[in-house]
């Protein structure tokens, strides 16, 4: 396998996955470059949405496909925004608006625990009966004020107590080592080697 379709057009995800797969000699092609529209994400779990996206991208391209569904789950909000992380502030969803809504919803709450989730699915073909599936978590807390210039999404607010930094303050290489996506990719690579 030397090429995978990434079932995403997120510039941040394309950068992260391209960097992580480069060492394996596998090129990542965003589905948009192949004219593939985004798949619907109607499910309430990360795994179901990732599987639907991977199957859709593989079916449309005829290539193996990789999909992730990821987001942030906040304990004090019963897991919000969860699978709706990228669309949290609809109809005006953007990183800035999503973050503003999340911080507003946390106003007055002392429990700031949160975790990123990444469900990563790889299919060899659209009807693959044995997709490779991993799901990981990256634990932290949420700040009221953003810090850092790297990352995307909720990264400027996602505080890692053990490091004394937000995810947006991490060097991209360091982030790829410890993030939910980095963890999921390492687990996926272990499955691929088997």
User: Which positions are annotated as active-site residues?
Assistant: 69
Nearest to 41 by CA among 71, 72, 78, 76: 71
Which residues partner with 65 through β-bridges?
5, 123
Query: Angle 180-193/11-22 helices, nearest 10 degrees?
Result: 40
Distance between CA 131 and CA 143 in Å, rounded? 37
CB hemisphere CA count around 23 (13 angstroms): 9
Exposed/middle/buried for 101, CB within 10 Å: 0-12, 13-18, 19+?
middle
Distance between CA 113 and CA 108 in Å, rounded? 14
In the chain, beta strands by DSSP E: 3-6, 27-30, 65-74, 113-123, 132-142, 158-160, 165-166
């Amino acid at each position: 396998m030397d090429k995978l379709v990434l079932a995403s057009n997120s510039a941040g995800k394309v950068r992260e996955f391209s960097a992580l797969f480069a060492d394996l000699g596998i090129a990542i092609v965003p589905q948009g470059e192949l004219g593939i529209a985004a798949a619907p994400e109607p499910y309430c779990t990360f795994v179901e949405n990732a599987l639907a996206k991977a199957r859709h991208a593989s079916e449309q391209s005829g290539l193996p496909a990789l999909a992730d569904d990821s987001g942030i789950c906040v304990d004090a909000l019963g897991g919000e925004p969860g699978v709706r992380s990228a669309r949290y502030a609809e109809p005006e969803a953007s990183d800035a608006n999503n973050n503003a809504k999340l911080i507003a919803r946390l106003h007055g709450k002392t429990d700031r625990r949160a975790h990123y989730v990444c469900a990563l699915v790889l299919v060899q073909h659209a009807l693959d009966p044995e997709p490779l599936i991993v799901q990981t978590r990256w634990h932290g807390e949420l700040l009221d004020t953003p810090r850092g210039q790297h990352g995307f999404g909720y990264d400027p607010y996602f505080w890692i107590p053990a490091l004394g930094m937000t995810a947006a303050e991490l060097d991209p290489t360091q982030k790829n080592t410890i993030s939910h996506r980095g963890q999921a990719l390492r687990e996926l690579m272990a499955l691929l080697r088997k």
